[in-house]
Structure 1
Amino acid sequence: MILTVTMNPSIDTAYQLDHLIIDDVNRVVPKKTAGGKGLNVSRVLVQLGDDVLATGLLGGHAGAYLGSLMDADNISHRFTPIAGESRTCVAILHDGNQTELLESGPEVSAEELEAFLANYAELVEQADCVTISGSLPKGVAADTYAGMVATAAAAGRPVLLDTSGAALDAALNAEVKPTLIKPNLTEINGLLGTSFTPDDLPALKTALEADTRFASIPWVVVTMGGAGAVAFHEGRGYRVIMPNIPAVNATGSGDSTIAGFAHAIARNADDDTVLRCGNACGKLNAMDPQTGHLVIDRWDEVYNAIQVNEL
C-alpha cells in the first residue's frame, strides 16, 4: 500500500470561460475535484492500479464533501477530523489564462495535530511507501514534515517529500532525510546560492554532493521545465529528456511525477524504471485536461520515448 499525505486539502473548483468579464456577471458550470497535491498523487496511483490510502486533515462540511469526492475517485482515505472548515480553491480558465483564488485553509490546534500524527504513525506501519505533498496548514510548525519523515524512516519505509519553503528547509536540515525530493532548478539554485542552467549539470552534481543537506538523500530529482529533468541517485547522475508532445494542462504534472516515482520505488525498481515511470506520469498528466489524471492509453508511447542518459 502507498500512503499519501495531504495536510491542507481543498475543494478545487474550476470555472471554464471563453472570456472573463470584469465587474459584471459571468455564468459558469463548476467542475469540482478533491484537491491538494497529495490527492492528485492519489488519483494517479489509482489509475496505475496501486493500493492507495490517503490521509491528512479534514474539517467541517467542506471536509465531508471532500470525502465524498475521494469516494467518487475510488481513493480510500483515513483523515483526521479538525474543527476548522477545509478550504476551497478556485481556478478560472479564461482567455488562454488561468487565474487562481486560493484560500489559506483552517488553523490546526496542537491537539488536532497530535491526533493526526498518531494516526499517521499507525498507517505508516501498514505502508510500502509514503508520499508527503504540499503546504502545511496554519498552526503547524515548519519542522512537522521532518518529524514525519523520521517516523517513516524508523519504520523502514521510503518517503517522498514534495514541498518548499520553510518546511523543505527544516527537512533538509534534519538528521533523518527523505528518500526523494523534487525541487525545480530555480528552487535548487536558491537553496545552493547558485545560478546553474541545464548546461551546468556536472557542476550541479558536484555542488549537491558537497552540500551536507543533500549528500545523504538517496534521490534528488531537479525538474527543468521544457529541458526535462536531472536526477542524482547514490552517486550517479542522470539526464532525462522528454518527448516533444504538446501539453494541454500542466497543472498537477509535478504531483503526477511523484506518483510515478512512488509507484516504481514501492516496487524496488531500477533507476531507469523509476525515472521513466515518474516522468511519463508527469507528461501524460500534461496531455490530459483533467488535473491529476493520465492519458493512460498513450503510456507505452510516452514511456518508451523518454531518454535517460547517465551523466
Structure 2
Amino acid sequence: MILTVTMNPSIDTRYQLDKLIIDDVNRVTPEKTAGGKGLNVSRVLLQLGDDVLATGLLGGHMGAYMAELMDADGVKNDFVPIAGETRICLNILHEGNQTELLESGPQIAPAELEAFTAKFAELAAKADVVTLSGSLPRGVDAGYYAELVKIAEEAGAKVLLDTSGASLEAALESDAKPELVKPNLTEINGLLGTSFTTDDVDALREALAADDRFAGIPWVVVSMGAAGSVGFHEGRAFRAKTPAIAAVNATGSGDSTIAGFAHAIAAGADDVTVLKTANTCGKLNAMDPKTGHLVMDRWDEIYNSVVVTEL
C-alpha cells in the first residue's frame, strides 16, 4: 500500500477564462477538486492501479466537502479532524497564463497534531511507500516531516519527501533519512550555497557526495525545468530528458512526478524505469486540463519519448 500525506489540503477551484478582465465582472464555471499536493499524488496513483490511502488533516464545512470530493474520486481516505476550516485555493487559467490565490490554511492545535502523529504511525505500519508532500500548516514545527520520516522508517516504509525551505532543511539534518528528495535546481543551489546551471551536473554530483546531509538518501532528484532532471541513486547518476509538449495545465505536474516515483519504487523497478515512469507522469499531467490527472491514452507515446542516460 502507498500512503499519501497532505498536511495542509485545500478545496482547489479552477477557473478557465479566455481573458481575465481586471476591475470588472468575470463570469466563470468552477471546477472543484480535493486539492493539496498529496491528493494530486493519490489521484495519479489510482490511475496507475496502485492501492493508495490518503491521510492528513481536515476541518470544518470545507473539510466535510473535501471528504465528499475524495469519495467521489474513489480516493480512500483516513484524515484526522481538526477545529479549523480547511482552506480554499483558486487557480485562474487565462490567456496562456496561470494565476493562483492560495490561502494559508488553519492553525493546528498541539492536541490535533498529536492525534495525527498517532494516526500516521498506525497507517505507516501498513504501508510500503509513504509520500510527504507540500507545506506544513500553521502551528506545526518545520521539523515535523523529519519526525514522520523517522516513524515511517522504523515501520519499514520508504518515504518520498517533496517539500522545500525549512521543512526540507530539517529533514536533511535529521538522522532518519527519506528514500527520495526532489528539490529543483534553485532549491538545491540554495541548500548547497552554489550557483550551478543545468550544464553543471558533474559538479553537482560532487557537491552532493561531499555534503553529509545527503548521505543515506538513496534517491536525490533535481528537477531542471525544460532541461529535464538529473537523478542520483546510490552512486549512479542519470539525466532524464522529456519531449516537448503542448501544456494545458502544469499545476500538479511535480506531484504527478512524485506519484510516478512512488509507483515505480513500490514495484521494485530498475533505475531507468523509475525515472522514465516519473517523468512520464509529470508530462501527462501537464497535457490534461485536470490537476493530478494523466492523459493515459498517450502513455506509451510519452514514456517511449523520455530518454534516460547514465552519466
TM-score for the superposition, normalised by structure 2? 0.98
Q: Shift in Å at residue 33 of structure 1?
A: 0.4
Partner amino acid, structure 1, of 2:127? A
Structure 1 position 45 matched with structure 2 position 42: no
- Say which SS state the counterpart of residue 111 (structure 2) adopts: helix
Distance in 2 of aligned mates of 1:204 and 1:128: 30
Give, as a single letter, the amino acid of the residue that structure 1 aligns with 2:37: K
Q: Match for residue 276 of structure 1? A: 276
Tell me, what secondary structure is at the counterpart of 1:5?
A: strand
Q: Secondary structure at the match of 1:170?
A: helix
Alignment of 1:57-96 (within 5 A): 57-96=57-96
Map of 2:216 onto structure 1: 216
Report the Cα distance in structure 1 between the residues aligned to 2:269 and 2:92, rounded to whole angstroms: 39
CA distance in 2, matches of 1:120, 1:39: 16
CA distance, structure 2, for counterparts of residue 29 and residue 273 of structure 1: 39
State the partner residue of 1:296: 296
Q: What CA distance in whole angstroms lies between the structure 2 residues aligned with 1:251 and 1:99?
A: 11
Q: Which SS does the other structure have where 2:171 is aligned?
A: helix
- 1:211-235, CA deviations, whole angstroms, 9 ceiling, x for partnerless residues? 0011221000000011000000001
Q: Give aligned pairs, total.
A: 311
3-state SS in 2 of match to 1:57: strand
Counterpart residue identity of residue 124, structure 2: V
Matched with 1:97 is 97
Unmatched segments (≥5 aa) in structure 1: none
**What is the CA–CA distance in structure 2 between the aligned matches of 1:91 and 1:140, rounded to whole Å?**
26
- Inter-partner Cα distance in structure 2 for 1:282 and 1:23: 35
Deviation of residue 268 (structure 1)?
1.3
Residue 245 of structure 1: CA displacement? 2.5
Of 81-90 and 239-248, more deviation after overlay is shown by 239-248
Q: Deviations over 1:198-217 (max 9, x none)?
A: 11101100000000011221
AA partner of residue 257 (structure 1):
T
Letter aligned with residue 236 of structure 1: R
Instruction: Tell me the amino acid that sits aligned with residue 78 of structure 2.
Output: R
CA distance in 2, matches of 1:246, 1:29: 23
3-state SS in 2 of match to 1:136:
coil
Match of 2:256 in 1: 256
CA-CA distance at 1:246 after TM superposition: 2.5
User: Cα deviations across residues 169-223 of structure 1 (Å, max 9, x unaligned)?
Assistant: 1001001111000001111011111111111101100000000011221000000
Question: Counterparts of 1:97 and 1:306 in 2: how far apart (Å)?
Answer: 26
- In 1: Cα distance, 2:123 partner to 2:112 partner: 17
Cα displacement (A) at 1:241: 1.0
Alpha-carbon distance, 1:247 to partner: 1.8
Counterpart of 2:176 in structure 1 is 176
| 1:112 corresponding residue in structure 2 | 112
Q: Deviations over 1:127-154 (max 9, x none)?
A: 1110000000000011000000001110
* Structure 1 residue identity aligned to 2:75: I
**Secondary structure, aligned partner of 2:91:** strand
The 2-side partners of 1:23 and 1:237 are apart by 51
Which residue type is aligned with residue 6 of structure 2? T
RMSD across aligned C-alpha pairs, in angstroms? 0.8
TM-score of the pair, normalised by structure 1: 0.98
CA distance in 1, matches of 2:302, 2:22: 40
For 2:148, the equivalent position in structure 1 comes to 148
**Corresponding residue for 1:138?**
138
Aligned residue for 2:232?
A: 232
User: Counterpart of 1:84 in 2: which secondary structure?
Assistant: coil
